[in-house]
Structure 1
Amino acid sequence: MNQRGVQLISALVCTCNRGELVVDTVSSILANSHPNFELVVVDQSKNDKTETALKQFSSDQRFKYLKVSSVGKGRALNAGLSATNGEIIAITDDDCVVPPHWLETFASVFAAYPDVAVSFCRVEAGEHDSTAGFIPEYILDSDRMLTTIHDARGFRSLGAGIAVRRRMVENLGGFDPMLGPGSKFHDCDDRDIAMRALLANYHVYETSAIGVKHFGFRTWQDGRELARRNFLGIGAAYSKFVRCGRKDVIYIPAYEFIRFALWPPLRDLFCLRQPRGVVRITAFLTGFTEGLRAPLDKATMVFVDD
């Protein structure tokens, strides 16, 4: 608590080789209106460009810079959990900017719903040339509370706009170190923590009241590699259901595979078009198969760090 009795909230940004581009992210967070917050930046860069760019914020007592040698977003998120002090931790990516009321809105969500372990907000595409490529986004038209794993069928939220309750996430074993960009399985760190929260009888809340602006532009050619990474991570994360004997929810990876990987190219065939998205099928199956073989802590449903 500060002198006004407002509970501390933490903001967390994990970055890698972003250089000066992360400055806009940090500036937008430090411009937030919440009266009592801290910002921790976990840097996995292989050079000192990001550290140099962020030195301009070193005099701000709310700002903390942490350079780590680990690789992968899952590990960076866990380092951030250890380095932050707030019970609520709001997380965004290093190619995003947040609105001034971002922290206040997340704080109000967790205050209103004590059973919520994870919350997501909108992720809006920044300005870009839509003829040349795209920016991943997540559009929310209304708020939604997920109370069971069955509510998460087709769940598509993005980790560019996520907040977690520390106590509950620590009870879950933290973020999976094998998931996320740069990790063994290159995606699904965000969806995985939400799924494990629901399996532990915590709740997940999606709020449409706030949105971060995302500037992670990909060309259409980049999209194929992004899809491969996404579905590799999804397949690995969902393999945990089988490993942990959760027969009641095994239909969820089947649903995900059929709807988002198998059906799009089949639809193209039915319409006499060249099949698109076949990479999703192979990536999902690869991730699922490798996930079945990877060391796993079944008590927490977290892959064992190698």
Structure 2
Amino acid sequence: MQVAELDLDTVEPPPHAGPHGARGAPAPGVLALRPGPGGAPVGPGEVFVLVRHRGRPVGTLTATVPDGADPAEVLAAAARDRLAPPPAGSPSPGASRHRAAQDPGSPGAARVSRGPEAPAAPGRQARRAGPPRTSVVVATRERPGRLARALDSLLAQDHPDFEVVVVDNAPLTGATRELVERKYSERVRYVLEPVPGLAVAHNRGVAAADGPVLAFTDDDVVADPHWLTALTAPFAEDPRIGCVTGLILPARLTTPAQILLESHGGFAKGFVPRTYDPARPPADEPLFPFTAGRFGSGANMAFRARELRAAGGFDPATGTGTAARGGDDLYAFVRILADGHRLRYTPDALVWHHHRETERDLRNQAFGYGAGLTAYLTALVARRPGLLPALLARLPRGLVHARTMTAHRDGARGVPGEHGTAGHPWPRSLSRLERRGMLAGPLGYVRARRRVRGLPLPWEER
């Protein structure tokens, strides 16, 4: 399946032109049609397309481009048919798809948005302020090829003031250091962290960084040129924001494992900006703030450095590379909220993620997600015992939610992403692995914590 971006002047059909315009003429209102990262020009066949409205992401859909057809014309027509808002006062077949944008976990054939939400109470002066200086931290281990692709995209950002810090985590060879010194030495700082674990590596990056805002992404992404500006602008708009997350879409959909993951939601959290405020818990989130997976993912997140350090950074007993298998990002999200800071999700901050390619990769990922979920909850209780009463009060609903999230999905109902579950049902074996991971997570966290016992926070080392 091809991956592409379509930028439209409007998501509504131009008046008197119909959806396609005159035969032989360019599709009206199409500002650009581009292939996804590293892809070939869009041609006949099935296409997963990100639809933008004058540069801003508003939804995704899939469509088939017939042989001999103009791809821009076909995709623009599909976008306007499925993403255009219904006429005032009348329901439309697309109404459920608009609702799907409000709830990324709800059924729908396309991920869409009704438009941006206003920032949370910024002052007039703050709105004019540029994004703050930012340090981008990329933790990596023995993947120099992927890292180079990610660094190229990071160094092409339109943000006016940033640095990039690469943390080489428990390397087996000198390949990462050699890459940075040979190709990126003037614009990228290299830092070594010998203790394995993603959270440990991120904490080393926190210590090395000098920006008041710290952004984190992975070595298997390609960042949109506007990513860092969009991710960090909310910090200038609202002084109460402690964390911002962004949109993650698939860079490629070429293997069954990649298509299966994206068919069941992938990493995307919708196309509607949202601010989570602990002072005003959202009515539609009864498990708040413990539904951390709703807030974003570690491949696309940023924090105020002061608040992240005050919270103790990332728990070093969580994350990839430890027995906990994950949960480092979820732990940080909840800690920031528990400390009274707001968390902002903005789909304007986009990275393209290279999903895992094989069935074995996906099985490991399913187990790791389950383990990371309960590991981060264990970490919260261990490090913030005061959160235990709130967690226990939500436990019954949480168990029901966990069972629903790991249930076998047979395709009777679709999920965001038009290829959907009908053709790609979630295997029972993956559901079982997620549940097994949940059972293993607390013990994994305890084992991992024993290994890092006594490890000082890097920014407190003398």
TM-score (norm 2): 0.58
SS at match of 1:133: helix
Equivalent position of 1:54 in the other structure: 180
Q: Distance in 2 between matches of 1:82 and 1:146?
A: 27
1:261, CA displacement in angstroms? Answer: 4.1
Q: 1:250 aligns with which of 374, 392, 401?
A: 392
SS at match of 1:12: strand
The amino acid of 2:370's aligned partner reads F
Equivalent position of 1:238 in the other structure: 377
Q: Which moved more, 1:137-146 or 1:171-180?
A: 137-146
Equivalent position of 1:187 in the other structure: 326
Q: Distance in 2 between matches of 1:95 and 1:274?
A: 25
1:130, CA displacement in angstroms? Answer: 4.4
Q: 1:217-243 deviations in whole A, cap 9, x for unaligned?
A: 232332221111111121111124544
1:29, CA displacement in angstroms? Answer: 0.8
Q: 1:139-179 deviations in whole A, cap 9, x for unaligned?
A: 42111111127544544221110011100011101111111
1:208, CA displacement in angstroms? Answer: 1.1
Unaligned regions of 5+ residues in structure 2, if any?
Answer: 1-129, 282-286, 411-425, 456-462
TM-score (norm 1): 0.85
Q: Distance in 1 between matches of 2:358 and 2:319?
A: 21
Structure 1 residues 253 and 95, CA gap change in structure 2 (3 angstroms)? farther
CA contact (8 A) 1:241 1:247 kept: no
Q: 2:223 aligns with which of 83, 87, 98?
A: 98
Matched, 1:282 2:436: yes
CA RMSD, Structure 1 to Structure 2 (Å):
2.7
CA contact (8 A) 2:274 2:344 kept: yes
CA contact (8 A) 1:123 1:161 kept: yes
Equivalent position of 1:212 in the other structure: 351
Equivalent position of 1:300 in the other structure: none
Q: 2:143 aligns with which of 9, 14, 18?
A: 18
The amino acid of 1:192's aligned partner reads Y
- Within 5 Å, which residues of 2 pair with 1:92-241? 92-134=217-259, 136-148=266-278, 150-156=287-293, 157-241=296-380
CA contact (8 A) 1:262 1:281 kept: no
Q: Distance in 2 between matches of 1:48 and 1:250?
A: 47
1:107, CA displacement in angstroms? Answer: 2.4
CA contact (8 A) 1:75 1:175 kept: yes
Q: Distance in 2 between matches of 1:200 and 1:33?
A: 32
Q: Distance in 2 between matches of 1:267 and 1:38?
A: 43
Structure of higher CA gyration radius: 2
Q: Distance in 1 between matches of 2:240 and 2:137?
A: 22
The amino acid of 1:70's aligned partner reads V
Q: Distance in 2 between matches of 1:221 and 1:251?
A: 37
1:83, CA displacement in angstroms? Answer: 0.5
SS at match of 2:201: helix
Unaligned regions of 5+ residues in structure 1, if any?
Answer: 297-302
Identity percentage of aligned residues: 25
1:254, CA displacement in angstroms? Answer: 4.9
SS at match of 1:250: helix
SS at match of 1:205: strand
Q: Distance in 1 between matches of 2:395 and 2:138?
A: 29
Q: 1:245-294 deviations in whole A, cap 9, x for unaligned?
A: 421233455544432346644777xxxx9844112222212213554787
Equivalent position of 1:299 in the other structure: none
Structure 1 residues 183 and 18, CA gap change in structure 2 (3 angstroms)? same
Equivalent position of 2:101 in the other structure: none
Structure with bigger RCO (C-alpha 8 Å, 6+ apart): 1
Q: Distance in 1 between matches of 2:389 and 2:379?
A: 11
Q: Distance in 2 between matches of 1:227 and 1:305?
A: 31
Structure 1 residues 147 and 129, CA gap change in structure 2 (3 angstroms)? same
1:15, CA displacement in angstroms? Answer: 0.4
CA contact (8 A) 2:139 2:202 kept: yes
Number of aligned residue pairs: 291
SS at match of 2:191: strand
Between Structure 1 and Structure 2, which shows a larger proportion of helix residues?
1
SS at match of 1:218: coil
The amino acid of 2:242's aligned partner reads A
The amino acid of 2:337's aligned partner reads L
